[in-house]
Amino acid sequence: MRPEHPVALITGASWGIGEATAKILAESGFYLLLGARTVEKVTALADELQSKHGIKAIGTALDVRDPESVNAFVELAKSEFGAVHVLVNNAGLAKGTACLEDATDDQWEQMISTNINGVLYMTRACIPLIKAAGWGHIFFLGSVAGHGVYKGGSVYCGTKYFVRAVSETLRFELLGEPIRVTSVDPGMVETQFSVVRLDSKEKADAVYRGMQPLVAEDIAECIRWAVDLPDHVNIDQIIIRPRDQAGFQKVQR
């Protein structure tokens, strides 16, 4: 049964979708452990949510690429909250838009280590605790890039196909456990994502010019909806796009 204050771990809560998810779950009474590399952002957010909603919230340094950092994060959840109920595997990034023959090792390394290794380390570390808690939900931030490819997207798309495969596999592996598994797979959401990908605020602004992208709160709302449904209902996958986006190269401006 869902406890009065479920404990949610959110990776990449310093900006964008992770930050918005922290805010929306805090409104619903969740206790929160928020992680990111920009530690001052997550500690400030945790303090703000704690005083605004009367919940317990902690922000701490987390690098999902580093298994020691991941294990320390999960240990902190255990010692401070005594349980883990919900994991939001949100931390992720794209780097560059170069075709495969021109892309750099560093771009690949960043995407693979964050979007693949990070998700694996974090999920493996949390599963025993979620099982022990007796009620839980694991979320993945996939993407429409896990459902179709585009020029210049081979490795980013590959990482999101991977996330989709892991979330689908977990539904087999956790069958019989009181744990739900949901992948939320957005199209264009205006966050820091394109600034990080393109290394330029100006180029990122151009991505969304003349169209109305989703905002981080739209995605957070999907997470709240899926976790608030009755326990027997599992939303496998949510594909969500702006009305102005029919496909990767098909945007109404």
Nearer CB in complex with ligand NAP: 50/117 = 117
Alpha helices in the chain (DSSP H): 16-27, 39-53, 67-81, 105-111, 119-133, 154-173, 193-198, 201-208, 216-228
160-179 burial code (b ≥16 CB/10 A, e <16): bbbbbebbeebbeebeeebb
Stretch that binds ligand NAP, among 58-66, 75-83, 99-107, 124-132 (CB under 6 A): 58-66
Answer yes or no: are the C-beta atoms of 222 and 184 closer than 8 Å.
yes
Indicate which single residue of 2, 37, 78, 131 sits in contact with ligand NAP (rule: CB under 6 A): 37
Indicate which single residue of 14, 123, 167, 182 sits in contact with ligand NAP (rule: CB under 6 A): 14
Q: How far apart are alpha carbons 185 and 167 in whole angstroms?
A: 11
Indicate which single residue of 22, 26, 55, 91 sits in contact with ligand NAP (rule: CB under 6 A): 91
Stretch that binds ligand NAP, among 34-42, 120-128, 168-176, 234-242 (CB under 6 A): 34-42
- 156 is annotated as an active-site residue: yes
Per-residue HEC secondary structure of 22-60 comes to: HHHHHHCCCEEEEEECCHHHHHHHHHHHHHHHCCCEEEE
User: Binding of ligand NAP at residue 38 (CB under 6 A)?
Assistant: yes
3-state SS, residue 103: coil
Indicate which single residue of 9, 23, 46, 65 sits in contact with ligand NAP (rule: CB under 6 A): 65
Stretch that binds ligand NAP, among 16-24, 80-88, 99-107, 122-130 (CB under 6 A): 16-24
Residues with catalytic annotation? 156
- Site residues, ligand NAP (CB under 6 A): 11-18, 36-38, 62-65, 90-93, 114, 118, 141, 143, 186, 188-189, 191-193, 196, 216
